[in-house]
Amino acid sequence: MSHLSPNGTNQCRVIYDFQAQPGTGELDIYANEVLTVLRQDVGEGWWEGCNSRGEQGLFPAGYVELIQSTANSTSNDFFSSVTSPTLTSSSVPPSFNPPVPNFPPPTGPTNVTQIQENNYDQGDDWGDEDWDDDDSQGSTGGDTIGAGAGSGSGYTGGSHQARESTLSLASGKSQLPVKKSINRFSTFVKSGGEDFILGSKTRKVPCDAYIYIIETSSNEIMWAPAKSEYQCTITAPKKESKLKGLKTYTAYKLTPSFNNIMVSRRYKHFDWLYGCLTDKFMAIPIPWLPAKQISGRFSEEFIEHRKIQLQMWVNRICRHPVISQCDVWMHFITCTDDKKRWKTGKRRAEKDEFTGGSFFYTLQPPSVPLEVTFVESRTESFGKFIKKMDDSIQFMSAVVDDQCRKYSGAYKKEMQKISTAFNSIASAYDSTDYIDHQLNEAIRGTGDSFDKIAKMYEEQPKYDFEPLAYVLHEYKGALSAWPEILDLNKQALGRKKDYIKLRDEGKAEDKVVESVSQRADVVAYAVLAEINHFQKERVLDSKEMMKSFVSAQLNFYQRIVNELTETLKMFD
């Protein structure tokens, strides 16, 4: 059923170009073309229609006007409050921020605000309700569930079956959240990014809150080094309980090197922290946490492997020159069991006015303007790189998962078969009157050696493939965030180009264009600085990862050689 405008027409004229995003049901529309309106009740801000070529889809209602109607003429006054009088309302498309049209909601990291409303305001300062903790009871599903804070699968404890679940984090089969949004405008606009670029709001930034971006003598754009470097170790994970034993959980002890004061944190506290960091730092990808789990979460093996993964995550945060110095992180690693102090810091973090798009107000980049072509070239090149890197990590993850299965399954069984075969020959040789006892014992010893080698195969993944999978898991989390970060930069550059074009057409004043350009450059500088940090981390991580993996493999095969060497001596 068509929904007609008040004057009876079901056609509209396009005012601004709109490029559809693949796979969303949207329709490409171009200025001045006429569309037939099929539905106006898709959702606030979205209409459905078709063009003269017969293509049908969704488009933003604010980008069109009904023919022979002036009802919507006031909706296109988006820039009137932030531009000079010479900038007309029809020059640039309006900010478009409708809800997502009738599509399934995207998956992604936990929303901190929602956590606050649903859980932290229920009276327990430490958030001991079961809103996001894998210690909770009554959950449904398999052993491993997707974590609310962008986690993938983690080590599940046990032997072969556990390892299969562990390495599913690398295979792409696990429930890994993907930070994607069907409405690509929502993140940029709702977070305050649009307000920052257009200067429609102001923020008074305390002097100690500024974050500096520098350009080195070799023309590297990078975050200014951290004021202080430190480490934070996780030790002594311990099973604890409350409510007279009705509630059990695992507490991990964190000790920062700058004060050596140990604090206790549960997984749910890491989960809360992850949400705070992802909400605050729009231009910085935060790696995933290890996954939640239902069964086996109190086994010593599982706790030890989770501790390893959390330690890797903490190490990465400590190495970042920006995150390692932020207030919410410092509160997390220094606040003791004082509930009042914890609550005060938690509330301060949740009400941080420099979160999302407002984060860019705290940045102090170099004063040198950036050329649009330079930024586009760097970011587009990096975008292609992370796509290839993501594909290669997905493939490598599948290989790692397959090798873990084979080491603990097929390879182990093959060695056991060989062991059984040699023992069978030794048993047969024992049945004759002409017995060479030394030979028979040597053959039986060979069978025993292959049985030992079978056990080596079963245990080997925890020395090489599992650590490899943990690193891949972290990078899968970071890579999943990069497309949104690059898209944010692209939109900021788009605004800059729009205003430059308007200035060239005499529709915008130089002062306005310069102001928008400077703020767009702040976003670009932040993205380029984070790209630089990511690449350096990638190089260091890859070297360490490969050295560790190859060393473990070398040691594995050396142990096999040593075992067979000793076996050979039995035949002398």
Three-class secondary structure assignment of 437-497:
HHHHHHHHHHHHHHHHHHHHHHHHHHCCHHHHHHHHHHHHHHHHHHHHHHHHHHHHHHHHH
Buried b (16+ CB within 10 A) or exposed e, 153-187: bbbbbbeeebbbbbbbbbbeebbbbebebbbbbbb
Judged by DSSP in three states, 334 sits in helix
pLDDT greater than 70 at residue 140: no
Contact 6, 24 (CB under 8 A): no
Closest CA to 476 of 167, 182, 191: 167
Which helix (H) or strand (E) segment is 378 a member of?
helix 372-408
Q: Closest by alpha carbon to 517, among 536, 545, 498, 544?
A: 498
In order, the DSSP letters of 37-65 are EEEEEEETTEEEEE-TTS-EEEEEGGGEE
Query: Which residue from 526, 523, 525, 501 is spatially nearest to 513, judged by alpha carbons?
Result: 501
Query: What does the pLDDT read at residue 26?
Result: 84
Beta bridge partners of 11: 36
Q: Which residue has the tokens 């390692």?
A: 324
Which tokens in the block code for residue 491? 């939109």
Query: What is the architecture of the domain spanning 111-124+134-151+208-214+224-364?
Result: 2-Layer Sandwich (3.30)
Residues in the chain, overall count: 572
Bridge partners, 35 (sequence order): 12
Instruction: Please give the pLDDT value at position 100.
Output: 40
Mean pLDDT of 256-278: 93
**97 class by beta-carbon count within 10 Å (0-12 exposed, 13-18 middle, 19+ buried):** middle
Tokens 């307000």 belong to: 195
Residue 44 pLDDT: 57
The winner for highest mean pLDDT among 75-89, 124-138, 144-158, 232-246 is 232-246
Contact 379, 361 (CB under 8 A): no
Q: Crossing angle of helices 372-408/437-459, nearest 10°?
A: 150
Domain ranges of the chain: 1-106, 111-124+134-151+208-214+224-364, 372-572
Q: Which tens digits make up the pLDDT trace of 68-100?
A: 644 443 333 333 333 333 343 344 555 444 444
Q: Is the pLDDT of residue 400 over 90?
A: yes
Encoded tokens for 109: 């990291």
Homologous superfamily, domain 1-106: SH3 Domains (2.30.30.40)
Which secondary-structure segment (H or E) carries 131?
none
Could you give the CA distance from residue 207 to residue 374 in angstroms, rounded to a whole number?
A: 31
pTM for this model (two decimals): 0.70
Q: What is the mean pLDDT of the chain?
A: 79
In the Cβ-directed half-sphere of 257, how many Cα atoms lie within 13 Å?
Answer: 10
Instruction: Determine the Cα–Cα distance for residues 284 and 320; give it in Å rounded to an integer.
Output: 10
Rounded CA separation 103/305 (Å): 38
> Distances in Å between the alpha carbon of 558 and those of 308, 357, 417, 551?
26, 54, 22, 10
Q: Which two tokens stand for residue 344?
A: 């005060």
What's the one-letter identity of residue 13? R
Written as one letter, the residue type at 382 is F
Which of these ranges, 1-5, 143-147, 210-214, 407-411, has the smallest mean pLDDT?
Answer: 143-147
Q: Select the more confidently predicted residue: 83 or 516.
A: 516
Where does the pLDDT of residue 189 fall: very low under 50, low under 70, confident under 90, or very high at 90 and above? low
Domains 111-124+134-151+208-214+224-364 and 372-572 share a fold: no
What pLDDT shows up at residue 309? 93
Of 49-63, 263-277, 462-476, 554-568, minimum mean pLDDT range:
49-63
Q: How far apart are CA 539 and CA 272, in angstroms?
A: 30
245-256: average pLDDT? 83
Q: How far apart are CA 37 and CA 326, in angstroms?
A: 50
pLDDT of 3 reads 44
Arch. (CATH architecture) of 372-572: Up-down Bundle (1.20)
Q: What is the rounded CA–CA span in Å between residue 170 and residue 541? A: 17
